[in-house]
Amino acid sequence: MQRKIRVLEPGETLTLRPGEYRRPITAVGLRGSASNRITIRGQSKGWYPEETGDQQEPDPSAEAVLTTGMSAELFRRDANMLARKKQAAGGSPGLYYIADEAMLFLRDCQHVTVENLYFNRCWPTAVYLDNCQDITVRSCQFRWGTYAVGAAGFHTRHLTVEGCRWQQNPDNKGRHWKDFLWFRIHGDLDEENPPDGDGRVSIEEGWRLFDGDFFVGWRIAGFVTLRGNLIEDAFNAIHMFNFTENPRTDLNLNVVVENNRFVRIRDNAMEPEGAAWNWVVRHNVFVDVYRWFGFEVERSGWFYIYGNLAWYTQVPGPDPGADGKPRDDHTGGSVFKFNTKHVADGPTYVFHNSFHLREPIAKKKRFAKLAFFNNAIAFCKAKEGGCTGRPTLFAQGARALAMPHDPAADLAQMYVAEKKRFTKDWEALEIVFDGNFIHGPDRLSHLRAVGYLFGDASSDLDPGFAGPLDATNTSASSFRLDHGAEAAGKSIPFVLKTKNDFQTFKDAGGGNVGAIRDDGSLFQLADEFEWITVKMPPQKTS
């Protein structure tokens, strides 16, 4: 196999016949061209998003299966020991420092396509890309594993992962979501109320083998497209790092996340870290995701989040004990997770999305230049399908929400208040909430009274989703608006800018608030972002 890969030339294809491949495959210096790509593929047709139902075990008689052959239980103890050693050395406990131990390793490669392969029980990593450009991973399945696709290198760019399926933990379908304590996968020494009292990784009780991602980028240049993937029963989905201190402006750029489906994600569906710019997040579906957007970034700008649908069916984590107290501190969640300090080089636009929520939009901290408009949101009703009936959109409780805001206070005082609630410093931070229909436990009059400066076109009326919105029957089509719905035809006009004013997008308003238009298609801008390399047609709800 290694000899065959080593001599591949532009335009050539290496086809892996059905069977199990237990030796790691390494490709170094493969150079295709834009018009004559090198392809490494399985003989089977691979996986396509149109396929529904449970992910099937691989069949080596019909498809090429890359595997370590090691079960999760066998790897679990090793993973916990490795994470604990990293923690003992002063680092964050995890397997990221051995992520380059992959079943398919590409280094210094260009213009290569990997397709129609099945990666099963690849611990810790299935595919790893080091200093690569123009790599496509398509129609592959991933089952078990810490990382599906990892990428590293300051010059790694133009990566596409499309039409792939990853079920990180297929065991009993949902066990990852319901049975494991969040701390056992990701907790550290600074965690409040650790189950063992001191925050150290437990060799016997830990589940560190699952502390990973579908796609993770460690300080790569960018131009990443993640499209049409199904990610299930995982801890994180998309995770991209920059430097936390002094982040580089040439990393974490130009990312497109579109038409993906995220199901039972125990932590974050999307998490840029350090800094990131120029991200488009559109036409995705989030079902049972603890937190959709983990934006703990020091700097960011020019994010466009639109046409997404999200709902929940159940609360994550183990059920409360016999005393009624929760056994897991991480069962709440929120739409956003923000940082204490944030510098906005450009705006973050969140618009024309439709959500059915059980938790706050943002619980605490701040995020500058956030423009949140034309979104349709309905909160669950108390005691309905695990609905917590929380009293606020922007805090961890009514008392925190009511804490006064003094615009003249110094930042240190503001940060203290913002440990328990989302910032009220909207004017200084250029935060705008307008044109939304947010029907939940909070009334707009109360939110305004405690200091949240909602725009004049805001409404707390029910947007009028067609439904059903419940724990078993919700689907994308549930978010179409009923005839005569309050949010129908009420969208406000807007103007979007791109970096350096290279493009301007204008919408005259008067359409539906939320993600779905009258014809059933998801909201789409009239023009495409010019830096996006592959165009996609508008998507319709089923």
Name the helix (H) or strand (E) containing 76.
helix 72-88
**Which two structure tokens, joined as six digits, stand for 312?**
């929940």
Q: Taking Cα atoms as reference points, which of 310, 219, 304 lies closest to residue 256?
A: 304
Q: What is the mean pLDDT of each run of 10 residues along the chain (542 residues)?
A: 90 96 97 96 81 86 96 96 97 96 98 97 98 97 97 97 96 80 92 83 95 98 96 97 95 97 96 97 96 96 98 87 78 93 97 94 96 95 64 84 90 92 96 96 91 97 94 92 95 96 95 97 94 60 57
> What pLDDT is recorded for position 44?
81
Per-residue pLDDT at 323:
76
* Rounded CA separation 207/176 (Å): 10
- pLDDT at position 533 is 67
Contact indicator for 219, 251 with CB cutoff of 8 Å: yes
Q: What is the pTM of this model?
A: 0.95
Nearest by Cα to 494 from 377, 345, 372, 376 = 372
Q: Residue 188: its pLDDT value, please?
A: 93
Phi, psi (deg, nearest 5) at residue 403: -55, 130
Q: Which amino acid is at 374?
A: N
Question: Regarding beta strands 504-507 and 494-497, do their DSSP bridges make them parallel or antiparallel, or are they unpaired?
Answer: antiparallel
User: What pLDDT shows up at residue 467?
Assistant: 93
Centroid of chain to Cα 219: 17
Distance CA 65, CA 229 (A): 19
Q: What is the pLDDT of residue 150?
A: 98
- CA distances 258 to 125, 236, 242, 516, Å, are 23, 17, 22, 15
Q: Which helix (H) or strand (E) holds 215?
A: strand 213-218
Please report, for residues 288, 305, 399, 442, the alpha-carbon distance to residue 382 in angstroms, rounded to integers and kept in the order given.
Answer: 17, 28, 19, 13
Contact 481, 488 (CB under 8 A): yes
Helix (H) or strand (E) holding 301: strand 297-306
Which one, of 257, 248, 269, lies nearest residue 304 by Cα?
Answer: 257
pLDDT for position 45:
76
Closest CA to 18 of 51, 55, 66: 66
Confidence (pLDDT) at 166: 97
